[in-house]
Amino acid sequence: MKKSLLTLALALASMLAVNAYAQKAAPGEDRAAPAASATKEEKATAKAARKEEGAKASKAGLESDKPSTTASKKTSKAEKDTAKAKRKTEGTEAAKAQKTDDSPTKKP
């Protein structure tokens, strides 16, 4: 009993020690180097530069951002109904075909 308890205690201690060591922060690896704070003037110039770049980008724009110049064709209710009926008949035919394919064949 004492040996198994001692073995269990050593195993538990080694598992806890590994977890504690893994969480230790090594200098220079886990932390970023401290940086000097930017002054208000530096922040203002960086902001102005970003604003200028953003204005140029928004004026140029991408072709995918621009709306389509061609008008989309409106579909009438009758066309929608005929398309729906066609899809429904195709679906029922496909379901019937699948049932006949999946039916068990008689073995002699």
| Token pair recorded at residue 29 | 């690896």
- The DSSP symbol for 1 reads -
Looking at residue 6, its amino acid is L
DSSP string, 60-88: H--TTTSPPSSPPPPPPHHHHHHHHHHHH
Over residues 52-94, the pLDDT tens digits come to 998 888 887 766 666 666 666 788 899 999 999 999 999 999 9
- In this predicted structure, the answer to whether residue 97 has a pLDDT above a threshold of 60 is yes
**Dist CA 41 CA 46 (whole Å):** 9
CA 58, 63, 69: angle at the middle one, nearest 5?
110
